[in-house]
A and B are shown apart, each in its own frame.
Chain A
């Protein structure tokens, strides 16, 4: 167990809807990164939050947005869902500027878009 929690574990939505995924980071960690993992692929970086600000973004459209809260927990929001958004969404926490920025993953949220 990494101490990183995510909710919900599974979600079914229809095309065009909006979804919010939540992540609580490991105690003592101040950075949260979000990844999308499609079936049979490696995780793809969506964005990272550090001190409540976006600190880097991957090749994802603006309908993917996020937040980080003062307690370092984070949300991933996806608007106007598309069928290709069906994937495992992973949150990873780390301690920035520690010299060891190893990322530890939560259990993930599996999203199915119909």
Chain B
């Protein structure tokens, strides 16, 4: 079983819609959860981090964490074509503070 799983997509949404990106993880001891955005040919850029169960909002982005279900999600409201990218879910893996990444979900926002 992969440690962090994401649907590879592509996830296609129309401009202005809500994009919902999902991620599950296997280590119940994980404490910190991150969403990175990666444009083609570029490096990952931090979008959100979340440590506690519930929702965390930042502008058009909302991260949701459910530790009991080992599930973290990212909602993007009013999606724009510039949001088209691969979204990487990452989980902090223990004392070394290493990040364990999923393979990423490709989001395509159609104008």
Contact = CB atoms under 8 A, between A and B. Distances in A.
Interface of A: 2, 31, 33, 35, 40-45, 48, 55-56, 58, 88, 90, 92, 94, 96, 100-108
Nearest to B42: A107
Contact of A105 (B45, B97, B98, B100): B45
A42 B98 contact: no
B88 interface: yes
A1 to B, nearest CB: 10
A48 B96 contact: yes
Contacts of A108: 42-43
B44 A101 contact: no
12 contacts: A31-B97, A41-B103, A43-B44, A43-B88, A43-B101, A48-B98, A58-B98, A101-B92, A101-B97, A103-B97, A106-B43, A107-B42
B99 interface: yes
B26 to A, nearest CB: 14
Nearest to B99: A103
Nearest to A31: B97
Nearest to B96: A56
Given A42-B88, A105-B44, A94 B98 contact: no
A102 B95 CA distance: 14
Given A45-B93, A56-B98, 5 more contacts: A35-B99, A43-B101, A56-B95, A58-B98, A88-B43
Contacts of A33: 97-99
Nearest to A88: B43
A40 B99 contact: no
A100 B51 CA distance: 10
Given A43-B44, A102-B34, A55 B96 contact: yes
Contact of A42 (B43, B95, B96, B101): B101
Contacts of B88: 42-43
Contact of A40 (B42, B49, B97, B103): B103
